[in-house]
Amino acid sequence: MAPTPAPPPRRLGRAMFDDLRSILDILMFVTLAVLILSGAPVAFVLAGTALLFAGLGIAFGVFDLGFLMAFPQRTFGTMTNEALTAVPLFILMGVILERSRIAEDLLKTMGDLFGSLRGGLLYATSIVGALLAASTGVVGATVVTMGLLALPAMLQRGYSRPLAAGSIAAAGTLGQIIPPSVVLILLGDQLSVAYQRAQAATGEMSGSTVSVGDLFAGALLPGLMLVGLYIVYQALVSWLDPKAAPAGDAEPVTLDRLVRSLAAPLGLIVAVLGSILAGVATPTEGAAVGAIGALLLAGQRSYIDAGEGRSWASRLIGVGMASAFLLAVVQVAGFDTRLGGEDRALGDLVALIVSALAIVAITGAVLVSIWRLTGQKRLAPALSSAVETTSMVFLILIAAALFALVFRGLGGEEWVRSMFEAIPGGLFGAMVVVMIVVFLLGFFIDFIEICFVVVPLVAPPLLMMGADPVWLGIMFAVNLQTSFLTPPFGFALFYLRGVAPPEITTLDIYKGVLPFIAIQLFGLATIAAFPAIATWLPGVLYD
């Protein structure tokens, strides 16, 4: 727990002491905003700004050095936080799947399935975006893949350029709200700390907290609602303006082809998300399952692409996948498979033997996949990309912790709380202001920066005012998803611009995403008006 602020020095009166702290707080936040907008590395901006204003506070006698003494403990807490272990595992899962061409097969199959309908390629894009979001969660990979494959097909059939570009960009951002999502993991960590601080401040230490699993369950219905809203909008445009989304010819899709295309993403969704929501696995354990599953899928896919689907190695990977499913069934059934137990029932003994054999088969399949992907030089780039992304996230997280400590030491928390209390309308008015601020910040800065800088500042006062932590987390998540679409710095726009054909202009992309930004805001307002959309499923599953 951070130390309490030091009493004002004798040379400063209380009024001057408070005025100086307030001025430094405001200057600190303004300096941070200016430096971030300058394009400097965010982690260094956060840490540098914090140290600069800590030094100024010490020089003026308005900052307690004890706040900085708490920084090593904060860093150690980040290193030992089990929930954050899921971040690199989910990133690795997404990067491996990105290189396995599963998305390409899925997109082509869905395109053929809906292609004969008016606007069919638009529906296929939204559905594939949702499936990839629930199995990979990598926005860049989804947007790039669909931009390379679906966008030329839409243009060839005469689809409206803004409509096609906007649909692909919007579908690619679903990975930020549909679990398992890295955004939800980071929000879960920040809200958990904020909720504990809010309970301590109000004296209501119930011992309960908000977990990543709660946010995963809470985000499922809002994510599906957004997919439905996308498809409704696309259907209306197709109906009102047939030339914008004409029907076309498509190859027939057999049941066998459909099953083969859906098996990999659906299997991974069930294994990862199903185990987490069912309470069989924690998010960290589910992330480990996802990483292993992605490795097996990528390995087997490499054999199939090379025409070696009937080789012994490919068959071994298939046995490993089947064994993983069997192992999950044994665990869900509740058999006692612990080692060293006495007076074990026959059923538990059989389950233990089956589990041991399954683990041996899975281990062999993983080793074969690693050997195959390493030989094809596909594993090392995936690991390197995952390490780079993970390092960036955690460096910003640690720097943000330092910034938060200095901001609190200068009285920033009291300043934010008093500002919220002065807003008319209570919790509703404060939420409106916060959501507007987060939405506007999304035009200029990254979702990770918003998550690590803004959420820790505004979440404790909102929770103290009575906001449900799961509902608050989903509101933040949907709003942060919008930041991927808002020009000029929306990441989805950059990704799509990089792979779009020459006839697609930047203006086409901006015009295309505007209706989807409006849909996002409508969805945000709907969740605000009906919080049960976010809180019902966690209540059913965990309460």
Closest CA to 9 of 66, 62, 58, 59: 62
Closest CA to 106 of 229, 246, 255, 259: 259
DSSP state of 4: P
> Tokens 């709907």 label which residue?
526
Cα dist. 101→294, 299, 316, 495, 500 in Å? 12, 11, 21, 18, 19
Helix (H/G/I), strand (E/B), else coil: 87: helix
Positions of the chain with pLDDT under 50? 1-2, 7-11
Asked whether the beta carbons of 66 and 7 are under 8 A apart, the reply is: no
**Count of residues in the chain:** 543
Instruction: Specify the pLDDT at position 408.
Output: 80
> Tokens 């920040």 label which residue?
190
Domain boundaries, the chain: 1-259+393-514
Instruction: Specify the pLDDT at position 8.
Output: 47
Instruction: Specify the pLDDT at position 516.
Output: 94
Instruction: Specify the pLDDT at position 474.
Output: 94
Positive or negative: CA dihedral 376, 377, 379, 385? negative
Rounded to whole angstroms, the maximal C-alpha distance in the chain is: 84
Instruction: Specify the pLDDT at position 226.
Output: 94
Instruction: Note the pLDDT tens digit of each residue in 374-429.
Output: 888 888 888 888 888 888 888 888 888 888 888 888 877 777 777 777 778 788 88
Instruction: Note the pLDDT tens digit of each residue in 278-326.
Output: 777 888 888 888 888 888 888 888 888 788 878 888 889 889 888 888 8
Asked whether the beta carbons of 295 and 317 are under 8 A apart, the reply is: no
Dihedral, CA atoms, 531, 534, 535, 538, nearest 10 degrees?
A: 180
**Counting Cβ atoms within 10 Å, is residue 287 exposed (0-12), middle (13-18) or buried (19+)?**
buried
